[in-house]
Amino acid sequence: AGTEGRLLRALKSLLGSALMDEYTAVGERSVRFFDIVVPFFKELKRRAEAHTGLALTHAVLGRPVHFVDDDPVRDRQAQDALERAARAVGFEEIAFQYEPIAAALDFESTLDREQLVLVADIGGGTSDFSLVRVGPQRRQQPQRADDILASHGVHVAGTDFDRHVELAAILPLAGYKARGPAPAEREVPSKVYFDLATWHLINTVYTPSRVLELRRMKSFYADPGLHARLMNIVEQQLGHGLLAQAEAAKIEVAEGGRTAIALDALAAGLASSLTQDQALGAIDADVERIVQAGLETVRQAGLSPDAVDAVYLTGGSTGLAALAERIAAPFKNAQTVRGDRLASVAQGLGLQAQRVFC
């Protein structure tokens, strides 16, 4: 809205955590996290009502299979907190659906026989897999928990890719992996660069004590120009913008080719570039962890990869073609189905709402 404020990401991850009833600083006020979630929810409802021209009183809310791993009490608390927030903004009738089931509902509507589907939801913060049973005989069932044979995930996804891309293509121009003066030529400390490339840590670099510490590191750099660029990032608070540029470059090269990254904010005329091969090399280890998480999901169900009939891909990060191909590759008998990367869960929740409320 153009108002001065504070950037918060992944609000849903607060659900089920002790943070929900703790306080954080927003401007000069101390605000409870729950009281941040509620107005965010209210704004979503306001926009939906403006779009439809209707007063919305019923909602189907998506939820992960586990808000909190291996803790059913906290998991229930997370759903209760989401319901409390929904009721606080005026929803009167509320139902829940598991997100992997919601993602598969549109695909399920096209089937004439039962299938086992591995839903791969690769988002910004986590990569989540669920092996689900779908089919025409199951469509009308209101409760689908028993159709989820296994779920597994890793806290590796799109924002991790962005970090690796920024470290590979942008931050070396501000001193990442630079060397100090002869004769020792030690590598400069890297922590500040890791923090600048991690969304939730960027603000920690801007504190007065941290800025003072970084200024004193000038003698660590053989090339003082690199230190000057680092200080420009810190003093002008460019961290979020640079990470956004890394994300944009990652998306640009997802289908191949090379993209230029203009870095005039660091120094006039400064630029870098990124190729698909560079991007894939930077994120290779994380991609392998995601692939193994998919395989582990099927193993937890006591099945082999050959038993999977379809791999259903959703989530923004599945737009990276090489990632999608590697996720699907171990499942030789499976059809690869691409859902709407950004809206398949929401579309499925809409289908569920038709069944529950209409």
The reported pLDDT for the residue numbered 155 is 81
Mean confidence (pLDDT) of the chain: 91
Tell which residue, 128, 108, 165, 141, has the closest CA to residue 337. Answer: 108
Note the pLDDT tens digit of each residue in 332-357: 999 999 988 888 989 999 988 988 88
The reported pLDDT for the residue numbered 104 is 86
The reported pLDDT for the residue numbered 358 is 83
The fraction of the chain above a pLDDT of 70, given in percent, is 99
Of the ranges 28-32, 132-136, 205-209, 272-276, which one carries the lowest mean pLDDT score? 28-32
The reported pLDDT for the residue numbered 123 is 84
pLDDT bucket at 3, cuts 50 / 70 / 90:
confident
Q: What's the Cα-to-Cα distance from 23 to each of 26, 34, 87, 350, rounded to whole Å? A: 9, 9, 21, 34
Residue type, 100: P
The reported pLDDT for the residue numbered 170 is 98
Structural element, H or E, at residue 143: none
The reported pLDDT for the residue numbered 335 is 95
As a whole number, mean pLDDT of residues 273-298 equals 94
> CB atoms < 10 A from the CB of 319, how many?
18
User: What DSSP designation does 159 have?
Assistant: H
pLDDT at 65 over 90: no
> CB atoms < 10 A from the CB of 62, how many?
19
Residue 116 β-bridge partners: 133
The reported pLDDT for the residue numbered 336 is 95
Whole-angstrom Cα distance, residue 123 to residue 285? Answer: 17
| Tokens linked to 96 | 């829940």
| Tokens linked to 70 | 């291996």
Task: Report the b/e string of 44-53 with b at 16+ CB within 10 A.
Answer: ebeeeeeeee
| Tokens linked to 129 | 């897999």
What is the dihedral angle through the alpha carbons of 106, 109, 115, 121, rounded to the nearest 10 degrees?
0
Note the pLDDT tens digit of each residue in 91-142: 999 999 888 888 888 788 888 899 999 999 998 878 889 999 999 888 777 7
pLDDT at 179 over 80: yes
Note the pLDDT tens digit of each residue in 156-166: 888 899 999 99
